[in-house]
Amino acid sequence: MKKIESIAYLYASMMNSDDKIATKELESWYKAARKRWPEVTKEDAGNTLKNTLYFLKSQSSSERINNLEIVLKELKTNLKKTELDNLAKDLSDLIQSDGKITVGEINLAGLLRWKLGTDINFN
């Protein structure tokens, strides 16, 4: 997977944790994509996330977990500590964007802390 696809999978997993995709969550993705990849158009960033969401929703629970493990390994290998910290900040914004914090988001944040050493801020 390309870096944008790996991060999109992580975003899609977080967004899908409550089975609803809020407009504010999408705005959070566009903001993060624009910051990380200024050369990627909003349309391309949107298509990447849309395709990732379709892929994610077509998977069984065990497939999602396995693919999430692969994505986390790729990110741990390919991102510097500062990039991982910035990703954690962006994911914190995503979690807070819709005004609700779900159990799925908390669980995923715990997994990110365990696998990537990143801290998600819930405040």
DSSP class of 31: H
Q: Please tell me the predicted confidence (pLDDT) of residue 97.
A: 87
Q: Please tell me the predicted confidence (pLDDT) of residue 98.
A: 81
User: Sorting pLDDT into bands at 50, 70 and 90, what band is 31?
Assistant: very high
Average pLDDT, rounded, for the chain: 91
**Assigned token pair, 37:** 């990849």
What domains are defined for the chain? 3-116 (1.10.3680)
Instruction: Spell out the long-range contacts of 16-24 with Cβ–Cβ below 8 A and sequence spacing 24 or more.
Output: 16/53, 16/56, 16/57, 17/102, 17/103, 17/104, 17/105, 17/107, 17/108, 18/100, 18/102, 18/104, 18/105, 21/53, 22/97, 22/98, 24/97, 24/98, 24/99
- How confident is the model over 56-99, as pLDDT tens digits? 999 999 999 999 999 999 999 999 999 999 999 999 999 988 88
User: Sorting pLDDT into bands at 50, 70 and 90, what band is 1?
Assistant: low
